[in-house]
Amino acid sequence: MQAVVARRTVHVGLCSNIAGLRGEVEKAFQASRLSAGHELVAEEIGDGCASEVEILLADPGKVVGSLERLPKLRWLQSSWAGVNALAGHGRRDYKCTRLAGCFGPQMSEFVFGAMFDEDWRRLRFYQEREEWAPEPFKKRPRLSDLTLGILGVGDIPSVIAQRAKAFGMRTLGFASRAREVPGFDDVVAELPRVLGEADVVVNVLPSTAETRGLLNNGALKACGTGKLFINVGRGDVVSEDALVEALDEGWLRGAVLDVFATEPLPGTSALWRHPGVRISPHVAAVSYPSDVAQLFVANLELWLDGKPLRYMVDLDKGY
């Protein structure tokens, strides 16, 4: 008679507004090697289990107010890329990992969509006038003649840079130190150089003590004239006043903004009405439940094996 092997129960707390996340976590768990020897019990922390939770999958903004009710917390897997809410909380006695490795393709689509949209807007202008006007478009630069400047060189910027290389663009990255990064022709620590040499500037920097206000105080003057600025990183890297100044002075020809220092963007913001600004409501990349679940279960395997987790966060640094 074959012996029955006891299965180990793994308790996971959930605190997320992502629809369908629990089902995706259960599906990913069943498809993993863990299901052979483990049983998953996933419960919302509001169900009365908060005091016993050691492993938590959560939206940082939703769970931060409940951290004091989680005395046994040992590991928190963020369902977002950003962990600003958790970094701003004083608690540091648990491991934190962020959602990563899945946003690069989405943000690449947003960035290049914003770049191509300039031509489509001009085409729409002539269409509305019922005017056949090929000449202005014969003078537009080819992507292969342009430089894409990317502020930040992490996993998301690297994917954007690699997509840019597929178009033949030169890619120049800004980071705290020069180094080799896949997809980049050069990575430098001189911000004015990146702003000056780039034709399109994309900010993908996180919000940290070092990056907040980085593009304020006339920094964008280094762009020269007529650059396109796309922000898919964090809104507090540049102030509203700095953006308006750069647009009005002609340093920027346009600003495509997905993130803001205050969200939702207040109705009193001048950005809503500025002709050079295009606004999107922080949707350049979203957390799909299947992506969150797959990374969480992959990290859960590492956790149970006692191995280093993927995409660890230093909460003191904020990333």
Q: Which residues are catalytic?
A: 234, 282
* List of residues 6+ apart from 139 with CB closer than 8 A: none
Q: List helix spans (H) across the chain.
A: 21-31, 60-63, 84-87, 104-128, 155-166, 191-197, 240-249, 289-305
Question: For residue 88, which amino acid is it?
Answer: G
Q: Could you tell me which residues are beta bridge partners of residue 57?
A: 14, 77
User: Would you tell me the crossing angle of helices 104-128 and 155-166 to the nearest 10 degrees?
Assistant: 50
The C-alpha atoms of residue 8 and residue 65 are separated, in whole angstroms, by 31
H/E run at residue 14: strand 8-15
- Three-state DSSP class for 238? coil
The C-alpha atoms of residue 99 and residue 84 are separated, in whole angstroms, by 13
Tokens of 93: 């006695």
Tokens of 41: 């019990």
H/E run at residue 43: strand 38-44
The C-alpha atoms of residue 58 and residue 136 are separated, in whole angstroms, by 50
Q: Percent helix, strand and coil across the chain, each rounded to 5?
A: 40, 20, 45
Question: What separation in angstroms does the CA of 218 have from each of 101, 170, 227, 244?
Answer: 34, 26, 15, 11
Question: For residue 222, which amino acid is it?
Answer: A
The C-alpha atoms of residue 8 and residue 26 are separated, in whole angstroms, by 15
Phi, psi for 77 (deg, rounded to 5): -95, 115
